[in-house]
Structure 1
Amino acid sequence: MARINARIQPCLWFDDQAEEAARFYVSVFPNSRLLEQASYTEAGREQHGKPQGSPMVVTFELDGQPFMALNGGPHFRFSEAISLVVHVQDQAELDRYWNLLSAGGDPAARQCGWLKDRFGLSWQVVPTAWLDMATSANRPGVERAMAALMQMKKLDIAALQRAFDGR
């Protein structure tokens, strides 16, 4: 495996879809790439249960952020307790990521800018404008924008701004 220069690298646990997921995520984000793959060996088969030569770990980068995807078996599933946040600049970028990441995912898990992809991983697609609103000293505007956000699935930047502005 190539040495990753990041001190912290998230590891995503999959049953047996690590390579498929890594390829999908790399296709979604610009400046992304697959790095390397390690395969299971016969050693430890009584623990891992995977056939020799099947993908064990796939390393990849999403816009420069290193990740590892592990085919660890069906023992663990993703939950909303952790999500990946994608910061976007405008509605077109928000729509693009939302549509790509939510395709084939759980429609019931979409709320307030959160979604679950087809692998069960939770994402938040968050406009930087929302971060500016949420941290504003204009407390009534923050309250109005938060109330609007709580009614949305995919975030609508213009509607959030109108609510923030009291229009």
Structure 2
Amino acid sequence: MANRIQKITTNLWFDSQAEEAAKFYTSVFQNSRIHRITRYGQKRHEMKGISEGKVMIVEFELEGQKFVALNGGPKYTFTEAVSFIVQCETQEEIDYFWAKLSEGGDEKAQANGWLKDQFGVSWQVVPSTLNAMISDEDSTKSERVMKALLQMETKLDMDKLKKAYEGS
């Protein structure tokens, strides 16, 4: 049986840090690996200003999700308009991913569970129960959770969110 091709793959455009970023991300997420590295060549994939042998594309996988990291130069940069959500089962998981992903990142871009990593990529590190809590049919519960969430200056506190949800 042939491997199933992932229909949609996220492409991340870096100036020149694609390999560094892929190595970093695969070190943070347990079930991850780099699949292939393609380099710029003199005749194939030639790009003005990029020397032969430099990394062009890194194909990698994080928790079953495939990504492509491209060294395309400084033309484009990341914004908060796109972010990756890390669903966490425990506070320990939130603490781990928050510490790893925020290391070397933009401290001014940390708020309410959002952070920007050292490469400028935005992440949301959240409890896996958050969507259910903020979309609860009981608007009193969901409003309490949103109020508690918006008061958290950096990473999220599962216990405080749960207490807000329960009204205690």
Q: Do both proteins adopt the same fold according to a TM-score greater than 0.5, normalized to the shorter chain? A: yes
Q: CA deviation at 1:89?
A: 0.6
Q: CA deviation at 1:164?
A: 1.6
Q: CA deviation at 1:49?
A: 2.0
Counterpart in 1 of 2:84?
Answer: 84
Counterpart in 2 of 1:166?
Answer: 167
Q: Secondary structure at the match of 2:99?
A: helix
Q: CA deviation at 1:48?
A: 4.1
Q: CA deviation at 1:151?
A: 1.3
Counterpart in 1 of 2:95?
Answer: 95
Q: Which amino acid aligns with 1:154?
A: K
Whole-Å separation in 1 of the counterparts to 2:12 and 2:48: 16
Whole-Å separation in 2 of the counterparts to 1:140 and 1:78: 36
Q: Which has the higher helix share?
A: 1
Counterpart in 1 of 2:156?
Answer: 155
Matched, 1:63 2:63: yes
Whole-Å separation in 1 of the counterparts to 2:80 and 2:74: 17
| C-alpha distance after superposition, 1:68-89 (max 9, x if no partner) | 0000011111000100111111
Structure 1: any 5+ residue segments left out of the alignment? none
Q: Which has the higher strand share?
A: 2
Q: Secondary structure at the match of 1:60?
A: strand
Whole-Å separation in 2 of the counterparts to 1:50 and 1:121: 23
CA contact (8 A) 1:129 1:157 kept: no
Q: Note closer, same or farther for the CA distance 1:86–1:52 as it changes in structure 2 (3 Å cut).
A: same
Identity score, percent: 48
Q: Secondary structure at the match of 1:109?
A: strand
CA contact (8 A) 1:33 1:62 kept: yes
Q: Which amino acid aligns with 2:157?
A: D
Counterpart in 1 of 2:10?
Answer: 10
CA contact (8 A) 1:48 1:72 kept: no
CA contact (8 A) 1:86 1:123 kept: yes
Structure 1 length as normaliser, TM-score? 0.93
Counterpart in 2 of 1:123?
Answer: 123
Q: Which amino acid aligns with 2:8?
A: I
Counterpart in 1 of 2:104?
Answer: 104
Superposition misfits of 4+ residues, deviation over 4 angstroms: none
Q: Number of aligned pairs?
A: 164
Whole-Å separation in 2 of the counterparts to 1:18 and 1:4: 25
Q: CA deviation at 1:130?
A: 1.4
Q: Secondary structure at the match of 2:6?
A: coil
Counterparts of residues 43-62 of structure 1 (less than 5 Å): 43=43, 45=46, 47-62=47-62
Q: CA deviation at 1:132?
A: 2.0
| C-alpha distance after superposition, 1:29-67 (max 9, x if no partner) | 01100000111122464x542101100000000011100
Whole-Å separation in 1 of the counterparts to 2:82 and 2:62: 17
Q: Secondary structure at the match of 2:96?
A: helix
